[in-house]
Structure 1
Amino acid sequence: MWIISEEDARALVSVENAITEVEKAFAAMARGEARNYPVVREVVGYQDAVFGVKTGCDTRAPILGLKAGGYWPHNLAKSLTNHQSSTLLFDPETGRASALVSANYLTGVRTGAASAIATKYLSRPDSSVLGIIGTGAQSAYQLRATLAVRPIRKVYAWDPSPENLVTFGRTVAELGLEYAPQTERQAVAANADILITVTPSQQALVEKSWVRVGTHISAMGADTKGKQELDPALVASATLFVDEAQQAITIGECQHAYNAGLITDQSFRGSIGEVIAGLCDGRRTAQEITIFDGTGVALQDLVVAALAVRLAAERGLGSRVGY
């Protein structure tokens, strides 16, 4: 059984690698070759934590496994990140556990990859201004992944924490980009060709009237009932794409517009996997406002974990233990 530490995972899987693997997984889902099983996500009742398990299988690869973890809001005081998770892979031939992979970094990089894939297929090709609502730990992954698919030259950003904006600004500067931190969310949305929302918010942060025609939005924060980043009227008026439709209407950004009756099951143009696989159109005109509701699916986690294991075997990293 392989054991891949957090340090080894960071050394093994690049943003570009993750984009390649997650894109293939989305397409496999669309073709019916891969499936995510129902998500378990519960309040723990201890340390104010939320714990979840996401599982799935890609018969194309084949890859079988689960990611378990969640959100521990008091971890920062313990010098730990609030999000903690691990991925367990199984041998699809026998069902035996084959690898345990630390997934904190991999969760960040696969989330950035999913957003970047949506940007690659749904944003205007000439998009060069990125707006980010929420500059916590995930924002650097989002920025680096977006740069892999679009020629970004300027970044607008907002966060309720001035310290987060300063920290994120250092990353922007290191990448040689122009940085425009904002005290108002409207300025970020109004100037963006590509807008990424990546917060734990439970109320709308972006209003419909703020968003220009032709904007692409990757809504990446909502992955639990109650979370929300976008005005439901904005969601209802845009062209909608999802990673998985059922998750989008139950735990994703679309839950609020759906529950209000503003959208239905037929409101989605398709999944991002269907766009990749050529089974549905992506953006049709330069004037469309497109939204990708990225709730996060198990197969994203499984394919990057499996990649880490493959590369560890090739490069002599990680550890092997018998059982």
Structure 2
Amino acid sequence: MKVLSAEDVLRLVPMSTAVDAVRDAFRELAAGNFVLPPRQIFGDGTVLVMSAYHTPTGTAVVKKIGIALDQVPAIRATVIWTGNGEQLVADGSSITTLRTGAVVGVATDLLAQAGATRLTLIGTGAQAADQVRAVLAVRPITQITITGRSADRATALADQLATEFPEAKFTPSTSVEESIADTDIICCATSSTTPLFDADALPTTVHVNAIGAFRPTMRELPRNLLTTASTVVVDQREAALEESGEVIDAINSGALAETDLVELGPALSNPPTREGRTVFKSVGVGAQDWAIAAALANS
């Protein structure tokens, strides 16, 4: 049995590799090559269990997640991967942030303007850094604004990432409206229960990723963005309808139809428009965890 720490995960699977692995996994998902049981949710979302079985290889992954938004770190998880007579146990928190960043990289590569150079990140928690790493892996970003409620935390994260990406300019901010007014890509990684901004505050051409809201009671995106965007892509329609507060709100209001949601896997083979405002909403699926765990098992 191979046991891997968080440091091992980050060393063995760099972000560019993670993006490629997750992209391939979503293509496999679209081809029907995964069995994905519904996510099990306990304690009002404080404990989650996700699993995925890859039928062509007979390999599987199970992840147990404990979530406490009032603690640091907020996410504690363990991943178990089995296949070919082998078993791997790895730190699930690092895999979760890596695979969540990677799927944003996949979606950004699909939907953002090819020459995008400006990124705004909203959120300074555990998921934040890998959001930036993922976007920089697929677009020539030179300006990054790190936006958070705490100026100290925004500055600390900006300084940390600036040492990793010295060729880019990092600017901390506490004003969401100022940060999103003139940008090409936005990544939302917060635990907000109310929309972070209004669609009217956005540029006419912008790509927005939202990964922080994973419960029906949580919302990062405004309804009028989902209803006016040229394309709304989700990781999986069934998961979004079950867990995405933004999607549930927009559909329940009658402003959005289920058929308006484009799944990421099929979209990779039939790319939607990049015109105007585009949205990627993710709540996470087990195929992402499988992709990273399989990369670790084969490393």
Question: Considering the TM-score relative to the shorter chain, is it more than 0.5?
Answer: yes
SS of residue paired to 1:187: helix
Question: Relative to structure 1, is the Cα distance of residues 124 and 229 closer, same or farther in structure 2, using a 3 angstrom cutoff?
Answer: same
Compare 33-42 and 121-130 and name the one that shifted more: 33-42
Residue 64 of structure 1, aligned match among 40, 60, 64: 60
Q: Aligned partners of 1:67 and 1:144: how far apart in 2?
A: 23
Q: Which AA in structure 2 matches 1:296?
A: G
Which residue of 97, 106, 114 maps to 2:103?
A: 114
**Aligned residue in 1 for 2:10:** 10
2:285 pairs with 287, 297, 315, which one?
297
CA RMSD of aligned residues (A): 1.8
Instruction: Check conservation: 1:28, 1:60, Cα contact below 8 A.
Output: no
Residue of structure 1 equivalent to 2:225: 234
Aligned residues: 295
User: Which residue number corresponds to residue 272 of structure 1?
Assistant: 264
Q: Deviations over 1:109-143 (max 9, x none)?
A: 11111101100010010111001111222211111
Question: TM-score, normalised to structure 2's length?
Answer: 0.93
CA contact (8 A) 1:52 1:70 kept: yes
Does 2:155 align with 1:166?
yes
Distance 2:16 2:91 in 1: 19
**Superposed displacement of residue 250, structure 1:** 2.1
Find out whether 1:182 has 2:173 as its counterpart: yes
User: Hey, what does 2:47 align to over in structure 1?
Assistant: 51
Where structure 2 has 5 or more consecutive residues not aligned to the other structure, the ranges are none
Larger displacement relative to structure 2 (195-204 or 66-75): 66-75
Where does residue 89 of structure 1 map in the other structure?
81
Moved over 4 A (4+): none
For 1:63 and 1:262, locate their aligned partners in 2 and report how far apart those are by CA, in whole Å. Answer: 40
Secondary structure in 2 aligned to 1:16? Answer: helix
Q: Deviations over 1:271-306 (max 9, x none)?
A: 121122x1x332253xx2110111111111122112
| Residue correspondence of structure 1 range 175-254 to structure 2 within 5 A | 175-176=165-166, 177-238=168-229, 239-252=231-244, 253-254=246-247
AA at the equivalent of 1:56: A
Question: Alpha carbons of 1:74 and 1:208: their partners in 2 closer, same or farther (altered >3 Å)?
Answer: closer
Indicate if the aligned counterparts of 1:204 and 1:229 stay in contact, CA closer than 8 A: yes
Distance 2:56 2:178 in 1: 44
TM-score calculated relative to the size of structure 1: 0.86
Which amino acid is the alignment partner of residue 255 of structure 1?
I
Question: Residues 180 and 3 from structure 1, CA distance in 2 versus in 1: closer, same or farther, beyond 3 angstroms?
Answer: closer
The question of whether the paired residues in 1 share the 8 Å contact of 2:6 and 2:91 is answered with yes
Larger-gyration structure (1/2): 1
Partner of residue 281, structure 1: 271
Which protein has greater RCO, CA pairs closer than 8 Å, 6+ apart?
A: 1
Indicate how the Cα distance of structure 1 residues 183 and 65 shifts in structure 2: closer, same or farther if over 3 A, else same: closer
Query: In the alignment, residue 242 of structure 2 is paired with which amino acid?
Result: T
- Structure 1 unaligned residues grouped into runs of 5+: 312-323
SS of residue in 2 equivalent to 1:126: coil
In 2, the alpha carbon distance for the partners of 1:132 and 1:74 equals 21
Q: Distance in 2 between matches of 1:41 and 1:196?
A: 25
Q: Say whether the 8 Å CA contact 2:16–2:134 is kept in structure 1.
A: yes
Contact 2:146-2:173 within 8 A present in 1 as well: yes
What percentage of residue pairs aligned between the two structures are identical? 26
1:243-266 CA deviation, whole Å, 9 max, x = no partner? Answer: 001111221231221222211111
Render the CA deviation track for 1:172-227: whole Å, top value 9, x for unaligned.
42212222322321112211200110001111102110111221111111112211
Residues in 2 aligned to 1:25 and 1:247: alpha-carbon distance in whole angstroms = 16
SS of equivalent residue, structure 2 residue 103:
helix
Distance 2:263 2:95 in 1: 22
